[in-house]
Amino acid sequence: MTMKNNKRKKEAERLSKQQQEKRRKQRKKRRILTAMTLLLIIIGGSAFALISPIFNIKDIQVLDNSQVSSETIQSLSGLHTDENIFRFLKINVRQAIKKEPYIEDVSIKRNLPSTVQITVKERVGRFSIKFLNGYAIISSQGYILELAEDNKRTTYS
C-alpha cells in the first residue's frame, strides 16, 4: 500500500497543476457515471419485478391450521392469485388475518417467483363458560374465541 502511495506522490510531483486538476475531474466524472449506472440498474430491476408476470402469485399455501379453514385465512389475507408478489405489505396481511379470534400469530413468506406461504399459530379453546343463553369458549390466555349455543366440551384438549 505504501509503495502505491509513494508512486502516486512521485507522479504528482512530475505533473503540472493543470494536469492534476484534469485528472481529478476525470475521476469525479467516472465516479458519477458509475453511481448513475448503478442507480439505473436498481430502478430498472425494481420496475421489472413489479411489472413482470413472472412474479404474479400462482399459489397461496396455508400451513399449521386446524381450527380455521385455509379458504377463510386466504380470504382474510386479501391476497389473490395473479397479483404481483411484491405489491403487498406483510404487516397489513398479518394484521388482517389476526383479526380472526382463533389466530394467535401469523408469519408470511414469499417463495419466489410465485408462491406465498402463510403459517399460522392457532389458539385452542380450553374452557367453556355459561354466558347469556349459550356458552363462551375461551382460550387458556383468556381470549373469547366464540359464542356457542351448546357446550362443546368434548372438542377441547
Beta carbons within 8 Å of 80's beta carbon, 6+ residues apart: 57
With 0.85 as the threshold, say if the pTM is over it: no
Per-residue b/e over 102-119, b at no fewer than 16 CB within 10 Å?
Answer: bbeebebeeeeebebebe
Q: Are residues 75 and 110 in the same domain?
A: yes
How many independent structural domains does the chain possess? 3
Structural domain including 141 reads 125-155
From 32, 51, 70, give the residue that closes a domain. 51
- The rounded Cα 62 to chain-centroid distance in angstroms is 16
Q: Place 11 in a pLDDT band, splitting at 50, 70 and 90.
A: low
Instruction: Mean pLDDT check: name the lowest of 13-27, 58-72, 106-120.
Output: 13-27
pLDDT at 121 over 70: yes
